[in-house]
Amino acid sequence: MEFLHLDWLLNALVFSLLGVVVFWVSFVVIDKLTPYDLWREIIKERNQPLATIVAAMCLGVAIIVAAAIHG
């Protein structure tokens, strides 16, 4: 009995990398669509309300990517 299926592991790695890339690209697109630099506003200016909105957006995109990958 084989407990570790290499094809399952490869599929998990490929889909994980694909999910991270899609998530990163979506963050960059949203950053470009906003009139200010999200990263600077959150880190340098310590804009807590904006950080909360971006966190909610990140969770939403992550849920969509996970659902798309899961099928």
Task: Please state, in angstroms and rounded to a whole number, the distance separating the CA atoms of residues 60 and 53.
Answer: 11
Judged against a pLDDT cut of 60, whether residue 61 lies above it is answered with: yes
- Give the model confidence (pLDDT) of 6-36 as tens digits: 887 888 888 888 888 888 898 889 889 988 8
| Domain locations in the chain as residue ranges | 16-70
Could you identify the residue written with the tokens 């995109």?
61
Task: Please state, in angstroms and rounded to a whole number, the distance separating the CA atoms of residues 21 and 68.
Answer: 14
The tokens for 63 are: 């849920």
Closest CA to 60 of 23, 14, 7, 11: 23
Tell me the whole-structure pTM to 2 decimals.
Answer: 0.68
Confidence of residue 2 (pLDDT cuts 50, 70, 90): low
pLDDT of residue 47: 93
